[in-house]
Amino acid sequence: GDALSCVIIDKLPFASPGDPVLQARISALRKRGGNPFLEFQVPQAAIALKQGAGRLIRDVNDRGVLVICDRRLLKRGYGQTFLDSLPPMARTRELADVKLFYHEIERSKQAL
Express each pLDDT in 1-16 by its tens digit: 565 689 999 999 999 9
Longest dimension (CA), the chain: 61
| CB within 8 Å of 70: residues ≥ 6 apart | 9, 10, 11, 12
Express each pLDDT in 68-111 by its tens digit: 999 999 999 999 999 999 988 899 999 999 999 999 988 988 88
Separation CA 44–CA 14 (nearest Å): 7
Express each pLDDT in 38-51 by its tens digit: 999 999 999 999 99
Amino acid 3: pLDDT: 57
CATH placement of domain 6-111:
3.40.50.300
Give the torsion sign (CA, 24, 27, 33, 37). positive
For 79-91, b/e burial (b = at least 16 CB within 10 A) is bebbeebbeeeee
